[in-house]
């Protein structure tokens, strides 16, 4: 009997100072626990994508390719302040868009971190699933700070960009 649980927000050794698991061990554990799939959502990077794909395919576990993006209001302005947003590729188009977003974060938005903004998310949202649940995400932060209207506004914005069926809290 396979587990109904799947990790959708996982950091590996490619998330410096935040993740410690090695991808082969992650996939081996998912297989041992009979998880049908496992995601990899490293910070601002797809560096572990190929390794996850190879390891997961060897063990019969579905690899879910993702990234925890750093979202700034304007990627071109060099100022601190960003929120986390977990993105998962749901299709080949989503995979291509995820690669594009990660690349543009480094090429156009880099300021301490590879940042994207709302404009890029709107442009490259097709085929992606957005997870707002990270504690450093805009929705979670607004709720923790007692700002439910801001949380609702941010969640509505994500739903407009990614679609209601592809946006999760």
Q: What does residue 22 show for φ and ψ, rounded to 5 degrees?
A: -95, 145
pLDDT by residue (tens digit) across 23-49? Answer: 999 999 999 999 999 999 999 999 999
Q: Does residue 80 register a pLDDT over 90?
A: no
Average pLDDT over residues 53-62: 97
- For 89-139, give the secondary structure using H, E and C: ECCHHHHHHHHHHHHHHHHCCCECECEEEHHHHHHCCCCEEEECCCCCCHH
- SS3 (DSSP) at 14: coil
Q: Quick check: is 99 in a domain?
A: yes
The reply to whether 13 falls in a domain is: no
Other beta carbons within 10 Å of 43: 18
Largest CA distance in the chain: 51
Give the DSSP H/E element, type plus range, for residue 40.
strand 37-40
Given pLDDT bands bounded at 50, 70 and 90, which one contains residue 164? Answer: very high
Split at pLDDT 50, 70, 90, the class of 3 is low
What is residue 1's predicted lDDT score, i.e. its pLDDT? 46
Considering the entire predicted model, what is its pTM? 0.94
Residue 83 lies in a domain: yes
- The answer on pLDDT for 22 being more than 50 is yes
pLDDT for res 109: 95
- On the question of pLDDT at 97 being above 70, the answer is yes
How many domains in the chain? 1
| pLDDT number for residue 17 | 80
Structural domain that includes position 80: 66-168
CB 70 within 8 A of CB 44: yes
**Bridging pattern class, strands 115-117 and 167-168:** unpaired
Q: Residue 103 and residue 93: Cα distance in Å, rounded?
A: 15
Q: Is the pLDDT of residue 137 over 50?
A: yes
CATH number at residue 88: 3.20.20.140
Q: Tokens for 76, please give them.
A: 């071109």
- Lowest mean pLDDT, pick from 10-14, 100-104, 105-109, 113-117: 10-14
Q: Rounded mean pLDDT of 144-158?
A: 97
């Amino acid at each position: 009997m396979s587990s109904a649980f799947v990790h959708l927000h996982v950091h590996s050794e490619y998330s410096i100072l935040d993740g410690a698991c090695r991808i082969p061990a992650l996939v081996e554990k998912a297989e041992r626990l009979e998880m049908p799939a496992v995601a990899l959502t490293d910070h601002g990077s797809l560096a572990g994508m190929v390794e996850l794909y190879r390891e997961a395919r060897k063990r019969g576990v579905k690899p879910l390719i993702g990234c925890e993006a750093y979202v700034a209001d304007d990627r071109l302005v060099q100022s601190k302040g960003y929120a986390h947003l977990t993105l998962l590729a749901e299709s080949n188009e989503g995979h291509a868009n995820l690669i594009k977003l990660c690349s543009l974060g480094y090429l156009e938005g880099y300021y301490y971190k590879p940042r994207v903004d709302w404009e890029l998310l709107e442009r490259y949202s097709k085929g992606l699933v957005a997870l707002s649940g990270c504690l450093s995400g805009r929705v979670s932060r607004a709720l923790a700070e007692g700002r439910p209207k801001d949380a609702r506004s941010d969640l509505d914005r994500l739903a407009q960009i990614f679609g209601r069926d592809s946006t999760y809290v």
